Amino acid sequence: MSELKKEIHRRRTFAIISHPDAGKTTLTEKLLLFGGAIHVAGAVKSNKIKKTATSDWMEIEKQRGISVATSVMGFEYDGYKVNILDTPGHQDFAEDTYRTLTAVDSVIIVVDSAKGVETQTRKLMEVCRMRKTPVMVFINKMDRDGKDPFDLLDELEEELNINVLPLSWPIDSGQSFKGVYNIYQRKLDLYTPSKQTVTNSVEFKNVASPELEKHIGDRLASKLREDLELVEGVYPTLDVEEYLKGEIAPAFFGSALNNFGVKELLDCFVKIAPYPRSVTAVERTVQPEDNNFTGFVFKIHANMDPNHRSSIAFVKICSGKFERNAYYKHIRLDRQMRFSSPTAFMAQKKETVDEAYAGDIVGLPDTGNFKIGDTLTSGENLHFKGLPSFSPEMFKYIENDDPMKTKQLQKGLDQLMGEGVAQLFTNQFNGRKIIGTVGQLQFEVIQYRLLHEYGAQCRWEPISLYKACWIESDNREQLEDFKKRKFQYMAKDKDDRDVFLADSGYVLNMAQQDYGDIKFHFTSEF
């Protein structure tokens, strides 16, 4: 096996997704703890300890206790190189999460044992199904009172429309939670609540052995035997191929906060999760083992370091090997570029990397050369697809609150819009700037970041709009006529494309009926 192939086959790049508060960031932390990437876990919600979770590093995230931007973290574990993308669970940031799913090979879904499957999880699962992404489930918070494990698994199958397969089984829950029986490795993992230490596990090939009573007592031992018999009767045995095709989802039980069941999940994950897969470009399918480097930008983040006003473009490497200081072709700008300080991430700590392989994520310092969806290659003309911006549903006028800081506001808006956090439209009728987002929370984030990262103050003014859609047509006359009639509802996006700002669903329907030759697009990729 060639060196390149070996490196690629030991890569595991995945995203952790869930509904807010299911414990995703905590799980990420614990995985990093096992990878030796951090040495002490920050108690995310405790106020006594002023440590916040490693992956939530933006100021506003620390204040609100939610993840706003996707963090990228890599570590070595057991001979594998693991890359985690921690995504925001809050639905106002779903767009960031959808884009992240284009850059990963598999997904771990975190479910709260008391709340079960929630809306956001359902939506994200649809994206995984569409892309046939392999999924594993971590059922969290077993140390609190929750639903019956069989009911939870039924709910997962019904709500997420996927077959699940438990690879560990809980022994009671809530106050009397004793641990899990690890079906995958055939051992008993006993629970002691602790944020740092590792589980006490006993190898246990045969559950029928009377030894079991010594560890968990008579009542629980007989219940566990019954449960496992049921599990064997109802669920199939693990077929890795089915998991890789996205047809079956292995499930683990545990408590991320108390670091329980996490190592079991990780041990199974590195063994069976897929290494980087082929990626479809417009021109051809790119195999990870191709010798030539290719990659695409799936996310841009302004101000990773507030001392230097620079953005970072996150590039997912699709094939070959990326080398520092080598020349690569930026397809959209049609020019050669070289990068002297590409970085790899451990949340906010970055280190310069000399090389990276397919499956890895590298950060490239960006002074405005990149847009989401840009392709970089060793020279071949390729275009990767599938990174749309969605049509926003909430709109506000943005006004400068401090005329002395006009330049700062402009710069801040440019960089934040480049991140794809929200979209900026300029009204052709009165020249005012309108911000469109998919959720209310984004307005707060923008205002906060403009003030704290750029020193610019903005205020919002109401505007009543229904939807923004991009328009195009081969019929020039009809397009001109439409733009004249709808003059006060026409705007330009940041790439100077025509956008129609419909003020009601009725108006939009009528426009679509009256102007048959005009195409109305609801995502920016067309």
Domain end marker among 257, 272, 287: 272
Q: Pick from 247, 272, 297: which residue ends a domain?
A: 272
Residues 267 and 285 reside in one and the same domain? no
Residues 39, 19: Cα–Cα separation, whole Å: 27
Least confident stretch, 97-101, 109-113, 224-228? 97-101
Q: How much of the chain exceeds pLDDT 90, in percent?
A: 12
Q: Which pLDDT score, from 0 to 100, does residue 422 have?
A: 81
Kindly state whether residues 330 and 402 are assigned to the same domain: no
Exposure on the CB side of residue 181, measured as CA atoms within 13 A: 23
How far is it, in rounded angstroms, from Cα 393 to Cα 321?
Answer: 40
> Residue 421 is part of which domain span?
394-521
Rounding to the nearest 10 degrees, give the CA dihedral for residues 193, 194, 200, 206.
Answer: 40
> Within 13 Å of residue 244, how many CA atoms lie on the same side as its CB?
12
Q: For residue 330, what pLDDT is reported?
A: 92
The answer to whether the beta carbons of residues 270 and 78 sit under 8 Å apart is yes
CA distances from 460 to 224, 401, 410, 432, 449 (A): 58, 9, 15, 12, 14
Q: Look at residue 242 and give its three-state secondary structure.
A: helix
**Predicted local confidence at residue 141, as pLDDT:** 86
Q: What are phi and psi of 212, to 5 degrees?
A: -55, -40
Three-class DSSP labels, 252-280: EECECCCCECHHHHHHHHHHHCCCCCCEE
CATH number, position 215: 3.40.50.300
Mean pLDDT of the chain: 79
- For residue range 441-465, list pLDDT tens digits in order: 778 878 888 888 888 899 999 998 8
Angle formed at CA 88 by CA 384 and CA 469, multiple of 5 degrees: 55
Rounded to 10 deg, the angle between the 119-130 and 94-101 helix axes is 30
Instruction: With cut-offs at 50, 70 and 90, classify the pLDDT of residue 302.
Output: low
Asked whether the predicted pLDDT for residue 200 surpasses 90, the reply is: no
Count the domains in the chain. 3
pLDDT digits (tens, 9 = 90+) for 123-157: 778 778 877 889 999 988 887 888 888 888 889 88
Claim to verify: residue 404 and residue 497 sit in the same structural domain: yes
Return the pLDDT at 22. 74
Specify the CATH number for the domain of residue 468: 3.30.70.3280
Please compute the mean of the pLDDT values over residues 163-182 and round it to a whole number.
Answer: 82
Distance of CA 430 to the CA centre of its chain: 37
pLDDT band at 367 (very low <50, low <70, confident <90, very high): confident
Q: What is the CA radius of gyration of the chain?
A: 25
pTM, two decimals, is 0.74
On whether both 142 and 235 belong to a single domain, the answer is: yes
Tell me, what's the pLDDT at 100? 76
Lowest mean pLDDT among 143-147, 242-246, 283-287: 143-147
- CA distance readout (Å), 99 to 230, 278, 388, 437: 39, 17, 8, 15
Express each pLDDT in 36-77 by its tens digit: 655 443 433 333 333 445 455 455 455 544 444 446 778 888
